[in-house]
A and B are shown apart, each in its own frame.
Chain A
Amino acid sequence: MQDKVVLVTGASRGIGKAIAKHFGSRQAIVIVNYLQNSKCAEEVVRDIEAFGGQGVALQADVTKEAAVNLMLEQIVDSFGTVDVLVNNALCHYTFNPKQRKTAWELEWQDYQTQIDGSLKGTFNTCKAAMPLMKRQNFGRVINMVTNLIDFPIVPYHDYTTAKAAVLGYSHNLAKELGPFGITVNCVAPGLTYPTDSSRDTQEDVREAIIRLTPLGRLAGPEDIAGTVSFLASEEASFITGQTIHVDGGLTMT
């Protein structure tokens, strides 16, 4: 990963933070994209620098095309390109089984919000990074989805539907961008604990998931980061259009 330019969206907290730090530890140049929390993003940058990597925090709302384009321009100005794009940002979502909306309580706007956060955000960054990757005949796009698409152990309808859309988008992108030497893959984490989003998932639900999980625990952010790193590596150069579930074997597809 030495000197590869890696953009991780939503990287100030949780899984995104772990991914950014992981790339940092492998001496990549990491763009720590964030929406609001500049203090946390700067901390991630400091962590990356402590590993001997190079990091920079860039604010951009990925659901806004203009903001994404501006961010990409800034990256190109400073680092020339984007080699690895990790779409991790999503619209704020709290995974609380007690307070989730049921199918009959959801409004279209709930879906729209999640689709904007997950699909539109991914679309914007991919569209902006595509020309850079095509030009260099190399690119790695890794989109975060969820194992809930295959096994909705708690039906978070709006969130999961939006992630399913990202999965469909990724398959098509893989087909179209493959000839340019660009791979597009997805990582589908199971419940990842602890993160700010999953903190409200009650102990009994976590326990129930653990009991169904062959590897006997929940994913930690570092587990996800390891898989993302693999998909970005040379070893994964002939893999595209795939989804790796990182959930300790809870779902097997």
Chain B
Amino acid sequence: MVVPSLSTRCWWLKRDVNKVGVKELEQHISAYYVPQGITFDAYEERTLGQYTLDLPKLTSAKLIEISACVRLNRTKYLCSLQTDEIVQIIDKTIQLWLTPEYPLRKLAETLVPLITGYDAELVRLELKRFLRGFRKKDLYRFLDEEFDNPGLLDNFRPRKSGGFTRAYGPGLIFHVFSGNVPGLPIWSMIMGLLLKSAGIGKTSSSEPLMAALFAQSLAEVDPNLAECLAVLPWKGGSAEVEDLLLEKVDGVIVYGSSQTVEQIKKKVHQAIPVLGYGHKISFAAIGHEALTSDRYQDTVHRLANDISIYDQQSCLSPQVVFVETGGVISPRLFSQLLASELEHYEKRRPRARLTDHEIHAIRSIRNRYEALAISDPEIEVYASKSGTEWTVIYHGEPGFEGSPLNRTVQVYACDNLEDGLGYLRPYRAYLQTVGVAVGPKRLEVLAHQLAEEGVSRITALGQMTLGVSGWHHDARFNLVDLVRFVDIERSAEQLAEIYDPDVE
């Protein structure tokens, strides 16, 4: 385990620790971030090996104080920055994170596996892959994708039809982070900053650290910008803390279960944008072209990768796979190879430890299908021998049923991938990503059919868990849905001209 040296570690100690106390408190980590001057009366501690996470105890009054503070800091500083300057600051921060020796990265690589139970090597690789998507070039792509002219965020810009338009982001965004994918909150934080919005992020108890560390690294690059952010933990849905805050914000971004998203939406009584990223289901579609003798191993490998990264906790991971007949390996053989590949993956990057509830869910689906398999030769269950590490349930006919996750997958054989489409309808509201492996002639037709069924992202098998900058998250814009467009119409422009004292 690589542990940062004391000299680099000291400064992210609890801020109100007095210097004398540093020696014995050197492994305390602030799992929160607030502007300078904000203090707390009490903390909860969460011990992780030799580290202790300090989590402040929050009251509604304190949260309102913090929200006023970040809002004021935004007015004083963030509003005056050009989008280009914000991009430069974020890029510099990301560059810090892309340096293997960066102390906060090392700390994250040590602590996130302890917090989440994910394999350390997996976390190390996935964190850097994820963060690479926020470099300058990606941020510009992201902005250009959403705004014809990102300059709209800085000034009134001329419109082709006459007049001017400017886009205003929310003054203060309330982010509700989820903890299923480490680092994901950073996406939301960056979105807010690009719109010049102050932000209050509520972290999830299952991963409260990355957002706080990212805010700390922003403070290294530009302390004034970081002063516009607060990252705090509290129990989601706790009315006494949350409700008043919801009256004070100008936009909400919620990641979490569908229930969480709905709860928050119900509590918002003002006309402000609320972007909710709730529960989604993704699947893979494998054509016979990807099951030729030279390709089938690669196909299986790609799928196992998509299933194993973060144990399907990401919405982007496949829960179901349609496998076409007509390749050199049948869907049944494909399932057997997939089982073997998942076993390899388990040896390389063991799955996280599960709760009793999660284990029960896997055992229950295994039992159900094992019982069915006794009388139905078209069903087979391939499962890890030692425990619930991985499960492949093979069906000889097309169908669709979600998975209890944690490396459990349903494989449906079909003569044509199109045969599977009919089973998607009940899940329409939840469908998101499809990882496809089909030849070029079929891609567009299949994509259209999938889109008609409610799918919003079609990507390569093997790349399912990696969203790219500028993607339409759950079929929507990201930034555009948060801003207000304000127009100066041509008439106002023309009328203004006649009031020019120097006009002819």
Known contacts A194-B121, A203-B125; A216 and B298 CB within 8 A of each other: no
Kindly state whether residue A86 has any CB partner on chain B within 8 Å: no
Contact A211 B348 (CB under 8 A): no
Kindly state whether residue A186 has any CB partner on chain B within 8 Å: no
Interface residues on B, range: 10 to 19
Known contacts A216-B341, A217-B344, A220-B347; A211 and B301 CB within 8 A of each other: yes
Cross-interface CB contact of A217 among B121, B125, B347, cutoff 8 Å: B347
Kindly state whether residue B340 has any CB partner on chain A within 8 Å: yes
User: How far apart are B399's CB and chain A's nearest CB, in angstroms?
Assistant: 28
Per the bound structure, the CA–CA distance linking A216 and B301 in Å amounts to 9
Find chain A residues with CB under 8 A from B298 CB.
Answer: 211
Per the bound structure, the CA–CA distance linking A203 and B132 in Å amounts to 15
A213 to chain B: closest residue by CB: B344
Contact A216 B344 (CB under 8 A): yes
Find chain A residues with CB under 8 A from B345 CB.
Answer: 217
Per the bound structure, the CA–CA distance linking A8 and B461 in Å amounts to 45
Interface residues of B in 88-140 (CB under 8 A from A): 121, 125
Kindly state whether residue A218 has any CB partner on chain B within 8 Å: yes
Contact with B along A209-236 (1 / 0, CB 8 A): 0110001111010000000000000000
Per the bound structure, the CA–CA distance linking A42 and B347 in Å amounts to 27
Contact with B along A180-222 (1 / 0, CB 8 A): 0000000000000110000000010000001100011110100
A218 to chain B: closest residue by CB: B348
Per the bound structure, the CA–CA distance linking A46 and B341 in Å amounts to 35
User: How far apart are B101's CB and chain A's nearest CB, in angstroms?
Assistant: 13
Per the bound structure, the CA–CA distance linking A218 and B121 in Å amounts to 14
User: How far apart are A77's CB and chain B's nearest CB, in angstroms?
Assistant: 37
Find chain B residues with CB under 8 A from A211 CB.
Answer: 297-298, 301
Find chain B residues with CB under 8 A from A194 CB.
Answer: 121
Known contacts A194-B121, A203-B125; A217 and B348 CB within 8 A of each other: yes
Find chain A residues with CB under 8 A from B340 CB.
Answer: 216
A206 to chain B: closest residue by CB: B348
Per the bound structure, the CA–CA distance linking A211 and B297 in Å amounts to 8
B340 to chain A: closest residue by CB: A216
A248 to chain B: closest residue by CB: B344
Find chain B residues with CB under 8 A from A216 CB.
Answer: 301, 340-341, 344
Find chain A residues with CB under 8 A from B121 CB.
Answer: 194
Per the bound structure, the CA–CA distance linking A210 and B297 in Å amounts to 11
Per the bound structure, the CA–CA distance linking A167 and B348 in Å amounts to 29
B125 to chain A: closest residue by CB: A203
Per the bound structure, the CA–CA distance linking A211 and B294 in Å amounts to 12
Find chain A residues with CB under 8 A from B125 CB.
Answer: 203
User: How far apart are A145's CB and chain B's nearest CB, in angstroms?
Assistant: 24
Per the bound structure, the CA–CA distance linking A120 and B381 in Å amounts to 54
User: How far apart are A206's CB and chain B's nearest CB, in angstroms?
Assistant: 9
User: How far apart are B267's CB and chain A's nearest CB, in angstroms?
Assistant: 43
Find chain B residues with CB under 8 A from A203 CB.
Answer: 125
Find chain A residues with CB under 8 A from B297 CB.
Answer: 211
Per the bound structure, the CA–CA distance linking A35 and B275 in Å amounts to 59
B305 to chain A: closest residue by CB: A207
User: How far apart are B296's CB and chain A's nearest CB, in angstroms?
Assistant: 13
B304 to chain A: closest residue by CB: A216
Interface residues of B in 271-324 (CB under 8 A from A): 297-298, 301
Contact with A along B343-360 (1 / 0, CB 8 A): 011011000000000000
Find chain B residues with CB under 8 A from A218 CB.
Answer: 348
A222 to chain B: closest residue by CB: B347
Query: Interface residues, chain A, CB within 8 Å of chain B?
Result: 193-194, 203, 210-211, 215-218, 220
Task: Write 16 A-B pairs (CB below 8 A) sorted by A numbering.
Answer: A193-B348, A194-B121, A203-B125, A210-B301, A210-B344, A211-B297, A211-B301, A215-B344, A216-B301, A216-B341, A216-B344, A217-B344, A217-B345, A217-B348, A218-B348, A220-B347
User: Which 7 residue pairs of A and B lie closest in terms of their CB atoms, listed nearest first?
Assistant: A217-B344, A216-B344, A217-B348, A217-B347, A203-B125, A216-B341, A220-B347
Question: Besides A203-B125, A216-B340, A220-B347, 6 other CB < 8 A contacts?
Answer: A193-B348, A215-B344, A216-B301, A216-B341, A217-B345, A217-B348
